[in-house]
Structure 1
């Protein structure tokens, strides 16, 4: 009887814990209808979270057809998040990038390949040495076609690796542009210890894996 009571008590405890961890604001973001970002001057926009945005920004900017990669925050429920707020993990956001690209040169499908091919796809809540929900992997869709592309590629990768893929799939809602000093950080701070030891090796691994996707001036 004591054993049974202990099991019941533990069950109640864990249920309460799970309920306490459920954030209705975050769930509302996950359940929302996606926001479509219209073409501007023939350029489309896509949004990805894959660990530190310094790394991800540089990776996408090396890809043919990508005009610009902007660091910021997405996937959360907090208005106007700052870097300091995001770092607490309490805003719901992840460090993310906005990719401005020419869909005549590079497809959304290829950008998803870049996404999965430039990270450790099985690492939960982080990439490399960066840990926490603010570094989690999220891939954002703006319509059902994009959602289907993401889910099919995620399922294929899971099958090929025989592992669970950590990336969450969210409807795109809003991208908050990060502070000025984060933009082009890797390019402007090549001697920074993190850049030298984490960002540049990650970029070089991507370049070695996908040489056919690189801009001409990135092939070195």
Structure 2
């Protein structure tokens, strides 16, 4: 069964996607949740201080971004509940009895056979995993460049982690500039204008746009 993609071409969206996903979310069976955990754990293996996706409730994130059966799947990731659950059921038989290497092979085959569906599932795994507080803490602790990372810089920005401007250094900066409103055209010297004309010889002028007509009564 193919995922139904209610999109994009010819569709007129008159409302906005629900902020933070669908409030109540869809409900997964134990088998469906196990398949999602297994898929996510192979896409982003835990280790080196980072938790596995299955340990940070990646299933709960999917539950909010799979479109409920009562709604039209018109926003990314375009995963309608009924069709998505059917796909999980098919994956269960291929995936759950395999060891990690076998699961990776199943996912590689899925990516080759249905790249669109695989990409959407992978994207939700990425979005969900890197939004989890446990993962953000791991980034803060284990990555040198991530010590000041937070899920959203607003409303505080990064003022608590950025170094102050070096006022002494700034005070030594000198230079001049011409304000935009003070810029004036200048006449080219005759010899420079002649050289420019020779350089452009044989090069057709680019067409220029005609000025828009003045509205009547203006």
TM-score, length of structure 2 as denominator length: 0.27
Higher strand share: 1
TM-score, length of structure 1 as denominator length: 0.27
Rg (Cα) greater in structure: 2
